[in-house]
Structure 1
Amino acid sequence: MPLTVEGTTAPGFERVAEVFGAGGDAPAQCCAYLDGKPVVDLWRGQPEDAIQVVFSATKGATAACANLLVQRGRLDLDAPVTDYWPEYGRRGKESTLVRWVLTHRAGVLAPEPGLTFDDVTDWATVTEALAAAEPAWQPGTAYGYHAQSFGWLVGELVRRVDGRGLGRFFAEEIAAPARADFWIGLPESEEHRLAEVVTEAPDVPEGMGDVDMSAFIGPYLMTAFTLNGAIPDDAVKAAADRRYRAAGIGASGGVSDARGLARMYAWLLDEFTPETIADILRPETQGPDRVLSTPAFPVEQRFGRGFVVHPHHDPTVDATTFGHEGVGGTTAFADPARRLAFGYTTTQVVPGPPGIDERVKPIIGAVYDALD
């Protein structure tokens, strides 16, 4: 049974509420800003102020921190990482560029096996282990989704340059001025607002239960997504652990809502210069993703300065966007040409490959229909 939709839409955006309401019975939120002003602010099945783990949409927030430092002249994209983090220059990583870290070309997917979930809560333990790690491929020669290590690699560059940890830098330099409820390291005082995420198992076609699924799991996949066994392979199980939400995991542990995601990207559209946005929108990856691809299921992603470029939300919409999705439905992006910022969250996680969730595509389409 469809849940009751609450919230507001600006004149001309009423159909977005209709499409959002027809999108299923899972608790969800949807928010859009146009030229810095809210035009869609909707929720269903949960309190207005509910927040949740947004998984890899956190990478967009982490990338935003690094890009601010680049724009301010404090971090050079084409400098070696060792200019800022000397200890990183070991085991074939000596010439790794900052730009490669942001675009998943560093090859450092995880430390050596042996870290525990408790170790993950200590920033220095993880960054020291990553600095000592051997890359999975020669840095700069290929790319593969740094599912967990991205947060520590980029976050440590932020810390080395600025002195503040990733979570504090983000809170003070982005979340506060953007008026975004978004944390990389959730304070205990906000835990009462947390909405639990649950997994909706996908339907398995008849006969598929006997298929060998190993052909769909790449050789680096579990290494990248579990930090070599330190983090549970079940994202929902990890999100249910207070340690995960509090640790400041810059790749997947952020907590926000649709409003916070949209407000962040609306603020970035004003804060980023045209030159910064133009470089972000220039994809720096092509071909198969070494982590996500297998011979049976090739995956290509386009990254620019840490953001996913041109998210595939609707092939009928002519839009050049930057943002980042999160596992199971979370969607967030900015469209600089239209001055649009969009955020969507849902507590019902549907496992699947990267890309904007099928449940949110019609909603995005309705937003663009209103613009056009």
Structure 2
Amino acid sequence: MTNGFCSDDFAPVKEAFDRNFKELGEVGASVCLTVDGDTKVDLWGGIADPKTGDLWEEDTASIVFSCTKAATALCAHILIDRGALDPAQRVAHYWPEFAKNGKENTTVQMMLNHESAVPAFRDPVRPGGFLDWDYMVARIEDEDAWWEPGTRNGYHMVNFGWTVGELVRRVSGRSLGQFFADEVAGPTGADFWIGVPDNFAKPLAPILPYAAKPGDELSEFSATLLAEPQSLQALSFLNHGGWNMNDPAAHRAEIGGAGGIANARGQVAWYTALATNDGRLVSPEYLATMTRVSVATSRDATLLVPSRFASGFMKSMDNRAHRQGNQASAIIGDSAFGHVGAGGSIGFADPECGLAFSYTMNQMGQGILLNERGQSLIDAAYKVLGFANNRSGAWCR
């Protein structure tokens, strides 16, 4: 069922990966992790496309949804580290057209913190709008602030890719996807794309949406989305102009909030540079800035659960005590930072133990953060590394 490499000491990760297929409905997936730069796990398996029967091969990739936000945030951090972008500066300094409709005092840091107050669009996005960068940026500029920027945070679902991504474009003079290719994928050899090239030839696994089952309990986010069509939850999730994540045109578009294409190995490649703090992406002295919690709330305005971020990266989020908490949590190490993707994918770095980790899949799971499949792999990895438990809300030694 599964293929690839797993060192003997990390056999529990392979056991958990195999169990996902046998017991937890995994269809096709990959998991990869490095420790201090050494590959310990590089596994893949299952079915890439149930319609054709194509297997998930070594180089099979898929959309990793919001894992892409970490890639976008990293691009901004590279510019900050170089002194080209100032997190304390108002966005208007770099992007004057943004500064209207209650958004005038928004800072770069607020954008990284999901505090910039444009998490959704009140008016319908035109068909195909998500594939048109200039159109989406203009919509961001024209949207009225949902709250006074900086007074609260609410997850900017797909919009994070245009808020932070447009800053990267304005400051660097390159598109977000090109900047990532030049400054991240190039130096690390990562097969990870924010917008694939026209000659892209890797096998792509179509995403399989989660099918609700009898007895499923709705999260507050999902219940609000269904009951209130004009709510922030509904508009952030459903007002997308017919975006189809399996459309080849969508794969070519630079959707920095949700459109990244990779597999676990491709994502781990650039997280390894951060986990080992080797200076390839940001200076060693800057890395601490990327691991520090910059915003935390007991009720995210969009997700309706507690959330914690480190300037665009997710930190460990333990919502197990909340409604459907196991599907609104992502429990990693206390010093770790990264991002989950819709349906349960994840990538992160943990400099404390030199761990870079990624899990990608095609069958989406229930919930808004991780589910049992991905969390079980993470748990197995931390146990192998000698971490004792995650009762505190993060894995601790």
Q: TM-score, normalised by structure 1?
A: 0.89
- Aligned residue among 74, 89, 92 for 2:99: 89
Matched residue, 2:378: 364
The residue number in structure 1 matching 2:39 is 38
| Superposed displacement of residue 92, structure 1 | 1.2
CA offsets per residue over residues 288-347 of structure 1, 9 Å max, x none?
Answer: 111121xxxxx01101110001255786x7542100000112111110100100000111
CA–CA distance in structure 2, aligned partners of residues 205 and 194 of structure 1: 32
Contact 1:327 1:351 in 2 (8 A): no
The gaps in structure 1 that reach 5 residues or longer are: 233-237, 294-298
TM alignment of 1:113-262, pairs within 5 A: 113-190=123-200, 192-205=202-215, 213-214=223-224, 219-226=231-238, 228-232=239-243, 238-262=244-268
* Number of the residue aligned with 1:235: none
2:303 is matched with 292
- Asked whether the 8 Å contact 2:274–2:287 carries over to 1, the reply is no
Q: Distance in 1 between matches of 2:364 and 2:263?
A: 15
Q: How much does 1:176 deviate?
A: 1.4
Contact 1:311–1:323 at 8 Å: present in 2 too? Answer: no
CA distance in 1, matches of 2:234, 2:330: 30
From the superposition, tell whether residues 282 and 206 of structure 1 become closer, same or farther in structure 2 (CA, over 3 Å).
closer
Question: Partners in 2 of 1:215 and 1:194 — Cα distance?
Answer: 30
CA contact (8 A) 1:112 1:129 kept: no
Query: Gapped runs of 5+ residues in structure 2?
Result: 47-55, 319-328, 387-397
Letter in 1 for 2:18: G
User: Quick one: which amino acid aligns to residue 122 of structure 1?
Assistant: D
Match 1:265 to one of 271, 275, 278: 271
Deviation at 1:112, TM superposition (A): 5.0
Q: CA deviation at 1:185?
A: 0.4
Most deviating of 199-208 and 162-171: 199-208
**CA offset at residue 239 of structure 1?**
1.0
Asked if the contact 2:225–2:233 (Cα under 8 Å) also holds between the matched residues in 1, the reply is no
CA contact (8 A) 1:311 1:322 kept: no
The residue type equivalent to 2:33 in the other structure is A
Q: Secondary structure at the match of 2:372?
A: coil
1:229 to 1:89, Cα distance in 2 relative to 1, 3 A: same
- The count of aligned residue pairs is 353
Give the 3 Å change call, closer, same or farther, for CA 188–127 of structure 1 in structure 2: same
Q: Percent identity over the alignment?
A: 38
How has the CA–CA distance of structure 1 residues 231 and 275 changed in structure 2, closer, same or farther, with 3 Å as cutoff?
farther
Q: Which amino acid aligns with 2:383?
A: D
Using the size of structure 2 for normalisation, the TM-score is 0.83
The CA distance in 2 between the partners of 1:13 and 1:306, in whole Å, is: 30
Q: In the alignment, what sits opposite 1:334?
A: 349
**Separation in 1 of the partners of 2:356 and 2:240?**
36
Aligned with residue 6 of structure 1, among 3, 25, 37: 3
Q: Structure 1 214/127 Cα, relative in aligned 2: closer, same or farther at 3 Å? A: closer
Gap change, CA 1:133 and 1:206, over 3 Å in 2: closer
In structure 2, relative to structure 1, the CA distance for the partners of 1:170 and 1:229 (3 Å cut) is: closer
Where does residue 86 of structure 2 map in the other structure?
A: 76
Per-residue deviation at 1:275? 4.2
* Equivalences for residues 94-105 of structure 1 within 5 A: 94-105=104-115
